[in-house]
């Protein structure tokens, strides 16, 4: 997980954070309903909303790349992280919509979407103006932006010019702050206010000696509950790198042989699950780049026959998923298994 994110995420238990994530996603879909271009663009990315408990940070929210590389330009998975105590000082969903709209606009800005960069001078002002546009689309009350500005005890640097850029944008587009935009909605504080601070960091099970397959699978179950797959993947990757290709591929096959029958099939999950984060936490999906790395290493591979049977059947049953979405797992594994069967089925478990 991104270091920046690890520092601010004190409430990273994804299961408990879920109601807040759902609430924010609802606010976003309301704002994007009238902005189909933005909606289509943002749908390419995995964006989730978190609550952090970080008294040393005085911003209400920030957007970060949720992967290792903190890179909004090229990233695909983002976290918008709210500072709980500061967010709790807002009273309306309309104020929060401005904050979310602003953070989403950073993604749009960095990725050069539409005319966001031309709305004003400077990234922050552009994101403010675009947030206003999104708020209007969602029918939110623009007067509630003032409550967000009031969160800062004194005007942060550059705020004066941001405010005047905003005013100019509103005038230029003839946006009325006081028109009948509907009543403000109360901020649903119950989605986040009772979250207890639970600082945690996934322990690296690979540093505590040789974990057996059962221990690795247990960790994968825990990732579905609590998230932070990246620390686990990093640990597993380092662990496999230290092993011979035979040992490493045997372990990878043992893991796949156990998780494939245990968890719901990926094709089925993708069809029914609207949370992309859960898809990335699926053990088979989590394994895909690890499979690619290990099966592309030069050296002999060891394929235990019982696991090969399970994996081949699973790949066949989920063929559509692997062919269309996960060639990292599909291709190197299929190639290796095909090469193994060329020597006859008796040798399928042999070394190649």
Long-range contact set of residues 165-171: C-beta below 8 Å, sequence gap at least 24: 165/120, 165/121, 165/122, 165/125, 165/128, 165/129, 166/120, 166/125, 166/128, 166/129, 166/132, 168/120, 169/119, 169/120, 169/128, 169/129, 169/132, 170/132, 170/142
Adjacency order of strands within the sheet including 46-52: 46-52, 77-83, 61-65
Task: Pick between residue 124 and residue 219 the one whose CB is nearest to Zn ion.
Answer: 124
Task: Pick between residue 64 and residue 333 the one whose CB is nearest to Zn ion.
Answer: 64
Task: Pick between residue 124 and residue 144 the one whose CB is nearest to Zn ion.
Answer: 124
CA 50 to chain centre: 10
Task: Pick between residue 125 and residue 252 the one whose CB is nearest to Zn ion.
Answer: 125
DSSP letter string, 6-64: HHH-S---HHHHHHHHHHHHHHHHHHHTT-HHHHHHHTTSEEEEEEE--TT---SEEEE
Task: Pick between residue 99 and residue 284 the one whose CB is nearest to Zn ion.
Answer: 99
Compute the least distance from the CB of residue 106 to Zn ion, in Å.
Answer: 6
Task: Pick between residue 102 and residue 301 the one whose CB is nearest to Zn ion.
Answer: 102
Task: Pick between residue 124 and residue 230 the one whose CB is nearest to Zn ion.
Answer: 124
Compute the least distance from the CB of residue 131 to Zn ion, in Å.
Answer: 9
Query: Which residue has the closest beta carbon to Zn ion?
Result: 124
Where does the chain have alpha helices with state H? 3-8, 14-32, 36-42, 84-87, 93-110, 123-137, 145-149, 159-172, 213-226, 229-241, 245-262, 266-272, 276-281, 283-296, 305-317, 319-325, 327-341
x-or-dash pattern for Zn ion, window 189-218, by CB under 5 A? Answer: ------------------------------
Compute the least distance from the CB of residue 177 to Zn ion, in Å.
Answer: 21
Closest CA to 227 of 4, 3, 17, 7: 17
x-or-dash pattern for Zn ion, window 247-286, by CB under 5 A? Answer: ----------------------------------------
Compute the least distance from the CB of residue 328 to Zn ion, in Å.
Answer: 34
Compute the least distance from the CB of residue 124 to Zn ion, in Å.
Answer: 5
Number of residues that bind Zn ion (CB under 5 A): 1
Compute the least distance from the CB of residue 229 to Zn ion, in Å.
Answer: 28
x-or-dash pattern for Zn ion, window 89-128, by CB under 5 A? Answer: -----------------------------------x----
Compute the least distance from the CB of residue 130 to Zn ion, in Å.
Answer: 11
Binding residues (CB under 5 A) for Zn ion: these are 124
């Amino acid at each position: 997980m991104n270091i920046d994110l690890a520092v601010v995420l004190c409430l990273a238990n994804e299961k408990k954070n879920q109601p807040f994530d759902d609430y924010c996603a609802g606010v976003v879909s309301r704002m994007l309903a009238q902005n189909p271009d933005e909606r289509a663009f943002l749908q390419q990315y995995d964006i989730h909303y978190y609550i952090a408990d970080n008294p040393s940070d005085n911003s209400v929210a920030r957007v970060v790349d949720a992967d290792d590389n903190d890179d909004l330009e090229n990233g695909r998975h983002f976290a918008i992280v709210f500072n709980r105590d500061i967010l709790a000082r807002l009273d309306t969903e309309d104020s929060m919509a401005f904050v979310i709209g602003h953070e989403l606009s950073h993604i749009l800005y960095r990725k050069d979407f539409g005319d966001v960069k031309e709305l004003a001078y400077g990234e922050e002002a552009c994101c403010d103006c675009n947030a206003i546009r999104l708020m209007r689309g969602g029918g939110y009350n623009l007067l509630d932006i003032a409550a967000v500005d009031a969160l800062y005890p004194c005007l942060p640097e550059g705020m004066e010019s941001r405010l005047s850029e905003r005013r100019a944008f509103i005038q230029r587009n003839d946006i009325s702050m006081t028109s009948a935009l509907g009543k403000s909605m109360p901020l649903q504080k119950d989605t986040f206010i009772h979250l207890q601070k639970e600082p945690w960091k996934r322990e690296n099970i690979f540093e505590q000696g040789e974990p057996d397959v059962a221990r690795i699978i247990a960790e994968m179950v825990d990732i579905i509950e609590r998230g932070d797959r990246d620390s686990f993947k990093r640990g597993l990757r380092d662990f496999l790198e230290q092993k011979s290709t035979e040992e490493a591929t045997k372990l990878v096959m043992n893991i796949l042989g156990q998780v494939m029958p245990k968890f719901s099939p990926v094709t089925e999950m993708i069809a029914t699950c609207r949370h992309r984060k859960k898809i990335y936490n699926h053990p088979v999906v989590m394994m895909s780049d690890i499979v690619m790395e290990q099966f592309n290493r030069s050296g002999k591979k060891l394929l235990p026959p019982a696991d090969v049977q399970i994996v081949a059947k699973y790949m066949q049953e989920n063929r559509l998923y692997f062919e269309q979405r996960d060639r990292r797992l599909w291709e190197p594994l299929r190639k290796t298994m095909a090469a193994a069967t060329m020597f006859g089925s008796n040798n399928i478990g042999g070394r190649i």
